[in-house]
Amino acid sequence: MSQHPADTLLITLTGKDRPGVTSAIFDVLAASGVSVVDLEQIVVRRRLVLAVLVTAPSRPERLRAAVEDTAAALDMTVEVSTGTGDNRARGSGRSHVTVIGSPLSAKAMSVMAGRIADCGGNIDRIERMARYPVTAIELHVSGASPERLRTLLAVEAAHSGVDVAVQPANLLRRGVRLIVMDVDSTLIQGEVIEMLADRAGHGSEVAAVTEAAMRGELDFEQSLRERVKLLAGLEESVFDEVYDEIVVNPGARTMVRTLRRLGYRFAIVSGGFSQITDRLAEDLGIHFSRANTLEVVDGRLTGTVLGEVVDRGAKADALREFAARVGVPEEATIAIGDGANDLDMLQAAGLGIAYNARPVVQEIADTAVNVPYLDAIMYLLGISREEIEAADAEAGITTPAPPV
């Protein structure tokens, strides 16, 4: 009996993965003269699931028998079902939803999937982006607006102890982008001004003011000038001492190294000090740097800041300036920060990321990352851990093996 052109067969093969499985199935399909309409294949712990949607031949029962014989020879299970037409078109409102956990519990994934369904979203595809040192899963979702998803999932993420990022599925994610980062407690661990203050005998006093400023409780410029006064008299060599003690956050070098390979540009914008940040930029391969400059006279700090202070508004202005210099729209920028003085910058960016941030920042940013690995941000860009490690291996860079 002749088949309607819209008739299709869905062939689903499951079993132990090994070389030649996909080839064997397509040899059978090739002999029948069908066309491929859709195709998906995944491997989880060496178990393969292959789904092939093909146009139905004039004698589908013959193809069914051939596929079943091939599956039996491969010691695999196969299901062949008939239908009409192509796989349904994905709905509008397409998003990439990235879930990061350490660990990532089944309960958390259940909650995320439930909230997606509640707002009319459909999960079209799921991919693992990383399994170590965090688990990162990306969901391709259609049928729900990214804004609505972001609002719902952010609340559930906080309750479930995971990080969730929702981004519209568009070409910006694949293009060259500019990443602008805060420095203290974002790119590096700790606060440089506190390290300087320790040497001036005012460490605890400055730390308390810094924390209040980062929470947004104090005017940043005023509080900075008051704290800097306490540094007066320190020898200029203190910058070398502090720089040698700086610890870059885990994953920072990997992120910069990997994304530079893809043509990304980087900038650091800090309420800290150029005597430190300029050296960081040079050491890490960061293209642009903007920070305050401490005045030094006769080899000693005077306790004043030269020029205008890089505050909350100046950080956002710097992002826009650097974007113009790179030649990318603001929508193609990513900002990463942790304190209240980063808020304007985060809101000016196409994607604002609160990294281990204060609550006031997490509430306003587009998404929050609370794992202690800065390179986890690459999972939000659709880059997997396997791709990162493969690129490093090609460059002769070895990475620790994950636990078995």
Catalytic residues, which ones?
182, 184
Alpha carbon distance 183, 61 (integer Å):
65
3-class DSSP state of 303:
strand
Alpha carbon distance 354, 341 (integer Å):
12
Q: Measuring CA to CA, which residue among 314, 335, 174 is closest to residue 266?
A: 335
List the structure tokens of 254. Answer: 């990997």
Alpha-carbon separation of residue 118 from 121, 140, 143, 164 (angstroms): 7, 16, 11, 17
Query: In sequence order, which residues have a C-beta less than 8 Å from that of residue 47 and are 6 or more positions away?
Result: 14, 15, 16, 17
Alpha carbon distance 203, 190 (integer Å):
12
Question: Residues 234, 192: contact at Cβ < 8 Å?
Answer: no
Alpha carbon distance 40, 42 (integer Å):
7
